[in-house]
Structure 1
């Protein structure tokens, strides 16, 4: 049984680790737009972690996770496409 606090903790730890690594990478590349591109993917990662660790409403949870993932991927592709060649 996973409490809400446990799910939130997993989300926080995962996103914090990913964003710190991306921040370090952006410093090396001298391109802060990397964070913008990965922002939407962060929502998809949070959705999948929550889906995997939370209980109840599996069908609705999967649909919500899938829609969040599609939105995050679309946002990342859109911002990446808009920023291509600017760095």
Structure 2
């Protein structure tokens, strides 16, 4: 099987997580404007990394056990960060 061009492999793994995180922060921004509380966005920095990691896991290619391990570790770190900021 021939190797895929690098751009064909990287673009889905970069675009989907970026879009998901942007949508999360857009929703947080709308909520913060409505509630007049900009600190809402701060709580979602860590979970946004976890969201990006799992979307990249779903969209990317590679060895699934390693990708799941990395996504799990990023999720633990993101939840810890979100809890610490909260």
TM-score range, shorter chain: 0.7 to 0.9
Q: Provide the TM-score with structure 1 as the length reference.
A: 0.83
Q: Which residue of structure 2 lines up, in the alignment, with residue 78 of structure 1?
A: 84
Which stretch of structure 1 is more off in the superposition, 8-17 or 60-69?
Answer: 8-17
Give every structure 1 segment of 4 or more consecutive aligned residues whose post-TM-superposition deviation is greater than 4 Å.
none
> Cα RMSD over matched residues?
1.5
**How many residues of Structure 1 are paired with residues of Structure 2 in the alignment?**
80
Which stretch of structure 1 is more off in the superposition, 1-10 or 34-43?
Answer: 1-10
In structure 2, distance between residues paired with 1:55 and 1:21: 28
Q: Secondary structure at the match of 1:3?
A: helix
- What are the ranges of 5 or more consecutive residues in structure 2 without an aligned counterpart? none
Q: Provide the TM-score with structure 2 as the length reference.
A: 0.84
Structure 1 residue 76: deviation in Å? 0.7
In structure 2, distance between residues paired with 1:54 and 1:76: 25
In structure 2, distance between residues paired with 1:32 and 1:55: 36
1:42 to 22, 39, 48: 48
In structure 2, distance between residues paired with 1:12 and 1:56: 19
Q: Which residue of structure 2 lines up, in the alignment, with residue 19 of structure 1?
A: 25
- What are the ranges of 5 or more consecutive residues in structure 1 without an aligned counterpart? 81-87
Q: Which residue of structure 1 lines up, in the alignment, with residue 13 of structure 2?
A: 7
